[in-house]
Amino acid sequence: MLDCLAVALGGAIGSVLRYLIGLIPVKEQFLFPIKTFAINVIGCFVIGLVAALALKSNNLNPKLVPFLKVGICGGFTTFSTFALESSNLLKNGHAGIAALYMFLSIAVGISFVLLAELIIKK
């Protein structure tokens, strides 16, 4: 039960952080959804750090890892928003921007997870 509460608290924190970033006034001159992209990349980096630290260190509190990975990162990242924005770009005839957004989100996201793991391994 405490694990569920830890995840719920982390999810609330992650969701509020995502909401606050969404309020940052960014003059988007392009169709590319830069704030969602940045949130996903940051979330990928953080989850990579947490996963690498969890593997490297045996003295982490066992409730801290799900709090950070499932709670904060799960509440913070916006894959469902990513999917919706991608489908909207496609439906509105912007297939090139949609393809670029989807490719970069996946490629850069995975790269940031690997980068975080590399930083922790040093």
Per-residue pLDDT reduced to its tens digit, 68-83: 999 999 999 988 889 9
Q: Which two tokens stand for residue 81?
A: 């928003």
DSSP H/E element including 5: helix 2-23
CB-CB contact of 39 with 23 (8 Å): no
Q: How far apart are the first and last CA of the chain?
A: 35
- Give dist(CA 55, CA 70) in Å, integer: 16
- Give dist(CA 11, CA 73) in Å, integer: 7
Provide the whole-model pTM.
0.80
Q: What is the DSSP letter of 71?
A: I
pLDDT bucket at 10, cuts 50 / 70 / 90: very high
CB-CB contact of 33 with 101 (8 Å): yes
What does the mean pLDDT of the chain come to?
91
